[in-house]
């Protein structure tokens, strides 16, 4: 570490090495310095002792020595347009002569298909880049020519360095990535498209079980393709949930982001349902038929009852599947072999997930007071423990059941995606990848070493949340994620990039930095911790190109300029909302200045619908829920809303979107009229952005907001069902009029797929 540093200098060095940013610029442009106590607590959470200068210095020296003692980095992410000249390796050089004649290097490269190639380098082909004296050793960092012309993909470089009589080897994961994310052919040039967003759980029909399923989504897509002329269908995250109200139904705080919620399965569409006598008998019973009808008639989704009913039927289907296709020694039919192939492809991630879900159900059945895995007996806290292995063997059918469910979900999504392509929806499904990892979920349980304890992720204070936000979930330990070759991150992207043409990444700023809040501290006292964002963005580009998926990065809130620049450079679409797009004078931006490579919309699930916004329903509800710190904050929100409405009306009139001679007095429009709705949709369609998306609530003038941030039990979130059912979409004259408005603007602005 060179000269002896003071305690403060050591803390500065430790924070710099740990990527803790000393300051940040808030939404008002002010520089905010980090609280020294915050920095200390974050360093402690990362495993660095700060009790004394001596202990911290010792820890930093050990880390530095460990780095130089490691032959190479565990992972190397490169871009095709910027392949490095050298691959670096480190080795002690005390025993070598000055010209390093005894130094040799061998690199064996294995690609994903198992093919290998070998490169050997003599000392005269190696370049000394840096020397470092630590303790009693001198290390050298050398560069060997990086193998050229590697196609995109994942590689294992087995590096063996020989220095005299000593030999050292290490496996390095090398990831070769494209320069940019994928841009579909239908969006190249000056082409623009439009979509519709619908929460899958909200879809109503005369055939579902109280929650929208994949068959409903197919019919919704058919209607949207015919009547709206959209090019994609946006949906909520399909991530696996516990399906328990009110705490475990948010699609943005899932049990797993890798796997999906079985509640969306179309049971009647399962091939195994058609041959299941047990399921047929169960559903023929009067009591169960009545339960289906009761759930279907509910105005709100009852996750627990729907999940319980579907779970029972799916277990009966699975029992018949096992009897016909499986034995204790494994699969005995071609169909069972398909399941086995799926299980092998998914590997450890699926096994961990299925094991967790089985354990979770087992312990909750034994004791209904057990709600989280931290309440299980200690021996089940470690996914690799002997107790967990014994449990898996004893409950192999239950574990297999959860793997079977994920297989069936994938099969139905694959078929759905092909159907959307067939009916002329070129971008297919627009999926959503949540940010959070539930502390009590499967992903956390299975990968505890990849998370940092004692820290919550959140956001600093801004206009929307003056006190800041604590989102209540832990951050990833990105050094350990790197050491693991980004395997979790890669699998997360692979799982969420499939079966669709677009992927929205919630709070994409997390790939650049996250706001860490030590336990016991207020959000305002948090600090940003940076990530190796160039590597993360490279991997994102690789999976985007491989899966032919366009990436939309949700970049609302505080966004540093370098993040915007990186997103643009990587081809990631920005996410722009009419509510928030204002200039320095607080005037709403005209459609002509919206960024081209962006998705524009009016609102999101966390914000008021257009109806709710115009009537101020969200403000009244926030007051009723006591989400304002005081009455003055409420009154200020009312004043700000009235001002926004005046300015929006002015923008609509200036863009000639209101009928001639329309009143410019916002008080003449106490509610969202058809003329106002038409004008807002026209404003959206006129945006320069390549993509626009209208929420179904704004299409049907529904005032209900899907989620109110800052609430769980205080308000029913994620349960509001569509104003119209699927059958109404095809038959109702009222629906036809709503559809005409959006279709008119899609056609007028050349956003229909037929225009391509």
Give 239-246's long-range contacts (Cβ < 8 A, gap of 24+): 239/434, 240/353, 240/357, 240/442, 241/303, 242/360, 243/303, 243/304, 243/306, 243/307, 244/303, 244/304, 245/302, 245/303, 245/304, 245/719, 246/712, 246/713, 246/716, 246/717
Tokens 């897509």 appear where?
A: 221
Q: HSE (CB half, 13 Å, CA atoms) of 671?
A: 5
Give me the pLDDT at residue 754, please: 75
Give me the pLDDT at residue 558, please: 76
Give me the pLDDT at residue 756, please: 44
Give me the pLDDT at residue 1, please: 61
- The answer to whether position 155 is within a domain reads yes
Inter-helix orientation angle 631-654/674-686, to 10°: 70
Rounded Cα distance, 381 and 400, in Å: 21
The dihedral through the CA atoms of 649, 650, 655, 657 has a sign that is positive
- The answer to whether position 114 is within a domain reads yes
C-alpha closest to that of 83 among 11, 138, 10, 152 = 152
Query: Residue 157's domain spans which residues?
Result: 70-177
- The answer to whether position 144 is within a domain reads yes
- The answer to whether position 426 is within a domain reads no
Please tell me the total count of domains within the chain.
Answer: 1
- The answer to whether position 113 is within a domain reads yes
Give me the pLDDT at residue 683, please: 99
Rounded Cα distance, 41 and 134, in Å: 29
Measured in whole angstroms, the distance separating CA 66 from the mean position of its chain's CA atoms is 33
- The answer to whether position 275 is within a domain reads no
* C-alpha to C-alpha distances, 584 to 463, 524, 646, 744, nearest whole angstrom: 15, 25, 17, 33
Which residue ranges of the chain lie beneath pLDDT 50? 755-756
User: Around Cβ 1, how many Cβ atoms within 10 Å?
Assistant: 13
What single string gives the DSSP state of each residue in 389-429?
HHHHHHTHHHHHHHHHHHHHHHHHHHHHHHHHHHTT-TTEE
Helices H / strands E in the chain, number of each: 23, 26
- The answer to whether position 370 is within a domain reads no
- The answer to whether position 137 is within a domain reads yes
Contact 596, 688 (CB under 8 A): yes
C-alpha closest to that of 38 among 460, 517, 406, 386 = 517
- CATH number at 82 reads 2.60.40
- Tokens for 618? 């969200």
Rounded Cα distance, 259 and 254, in Å: 9
- Tokens for 393? 């063997």
User: Around Cβ 620, how many Cβ atoms within 10 Å?
Assistant: 14
Give me the pLDDT at residue 268, please: 97
3-state secondary structure 473-523: CCCECHHHHHHCCCHHHHHHHHHHHCCCCEEEECCHHHHCEEEEEECCCCH
End-to-end Cα, the chain, rounded Å: 61
Give me the pLDDT at residue 97, please: 67
């Amino acid at each position: 570490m060179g000269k002896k540093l003071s305690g403060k200098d050591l803390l500065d060095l430790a924070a710099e090495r740990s990527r803790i940013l000393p300051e940040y610029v808030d939404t008002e442009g002010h520089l905010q310095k980090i609280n020294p106590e915050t920095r200390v607590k974050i360093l402690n959470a990362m495993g660095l002792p700060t009790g004394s200068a001596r202990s911290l210095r010792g820890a930093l020296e050990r880390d530095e020595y460990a780095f130089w003692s490691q032959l190479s980095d565990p992972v190397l992410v490169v871009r095709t347009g910027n392949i490095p000249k050298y691959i670096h390796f480190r080795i002690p050089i005390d025993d070598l002569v000055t010209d390093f004649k005894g130094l040799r290097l061998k690199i064996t490269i294995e690609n994903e298909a198992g093919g290998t190639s070998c490169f050997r380098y003599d000392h005269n082909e190696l370049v000394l880049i840096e020397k470092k004296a630590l303790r009693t050793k001198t290390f050298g960092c050398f560069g060997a020519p990086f193998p050229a012309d590697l196609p995109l993909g994942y590689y294992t470089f087995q590096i063996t360095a020989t220095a005299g009589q000593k030999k050292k080897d290490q496996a390095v994961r090398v990831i070769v990535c494209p320069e940019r994310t994928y841009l579909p052919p239908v969006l190249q040039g000056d082409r623009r498209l439009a979509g519709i967003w619908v929460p899958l759980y909200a879809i109503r029909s005369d055939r579902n079980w109280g929650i929208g399923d994949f068959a409903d989504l197919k019919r919704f897509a058919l209607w949207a393709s015919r009547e709206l002329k959209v090019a994609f269908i946006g949906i909520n995250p399909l991530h696996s949930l516990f399906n328990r109200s009110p705490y475990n139904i948010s699609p943005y705080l899932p049990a797993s982001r890798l796997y999906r919620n079985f509640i969306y399965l179309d049971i009647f569409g399962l091939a195994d349902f058609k041959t299941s006598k047990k399921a047929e008998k169960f559903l023929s019973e009067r009591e169960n038929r009545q339960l289906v009808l009761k759930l279907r008639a509910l105005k709100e989704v009852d996750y627990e009852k729907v999940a319980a009913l579907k779970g029972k039927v799916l277990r009966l289907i699975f029992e018949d599947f096992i009897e016909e296709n499986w034995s204790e020694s494994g699969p005995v039919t071609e169909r069972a072999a398909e399941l086995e192939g799926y299980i092998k492809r998914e590997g450890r991630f699926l096994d961990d997930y299925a094991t967790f879900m089985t354990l979770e159900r087992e312990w909750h059945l034994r004791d209904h007071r057990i709600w989280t895995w931290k309440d299980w007996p200690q021996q089940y806290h470690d996914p690799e423990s002997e107790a967990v292995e014994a449990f898996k063997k004893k409950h192999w059918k239950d574990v297999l059941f959860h793997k079977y469910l994920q297989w069936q979900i994938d099969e139905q999504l694959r078929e759905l995606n092909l159907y959307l392509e067939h009916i002329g929806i070129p971008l297919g499904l627009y999926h959503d990848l949540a940010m959070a990892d539930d502390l009590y979920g499967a992903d956390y349980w299975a990968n505890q070493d990849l998370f940092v304890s004692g820290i919550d992720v959140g956001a600093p204070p801004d206009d929307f949340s003056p006190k800041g936000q604590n989102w209540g979930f832990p951050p990833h330990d990105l050094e350990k994620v790197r050491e693991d070759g980004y395997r979790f991150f890669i699998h997360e992207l692979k799982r969420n990039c499939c079966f669709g043409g677009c992927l929205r990444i919630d709070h994409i700023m997390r790939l650049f930095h996250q706001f860490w809040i030590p336990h016991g501290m207020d959000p305002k006292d948090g600090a940003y911790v940076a990530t190796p964002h160039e590597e993360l963005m490279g991997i994102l580009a690789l999976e985007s190109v491989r899966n032919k998926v366009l990436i939309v990065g949700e970049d609302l809130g505080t966004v540093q300029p370098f993040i915007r620049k990186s997103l643009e450079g990587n081809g990631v679409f920005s996410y722009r909302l009419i509510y928030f797009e204002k200039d320095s004078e607080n005037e709403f931006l005209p459609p002509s200045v919206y960024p081209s490579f962006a998705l524009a919309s009016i609102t999101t699930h966390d914000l008021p619908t257009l109806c709710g916004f115009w009537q101020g329903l969200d403000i009244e509800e926030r007051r009723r829920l006591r989400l304002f710190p005081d009455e003055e904050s409420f009154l200020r929100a009312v004043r700000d809303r009235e001002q926004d409405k005046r300015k929006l009306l002015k923008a609509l009139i200036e863009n000639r979107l209101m009928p001639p001679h329309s009143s410019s007095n916002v008080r003449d429009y106490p509610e969202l009229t058809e003329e106002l709705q038409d004008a807002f949709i026209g404003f959206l369609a006129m945006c320069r952005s390549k993509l626009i998306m209208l929420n179904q609530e704004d299409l049907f003038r529904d005032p209900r907001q899907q989620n109110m941030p800052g609430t769980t039990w205080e308000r029913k979130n994620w349960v509001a069902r569509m104003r119209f059912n699927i059958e109404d979409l095809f038959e109702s004259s009222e629906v036809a009029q709503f559809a005409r408005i959006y279709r008119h603007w899609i056609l007028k602005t050349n956003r229909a797929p037929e225009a391509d």
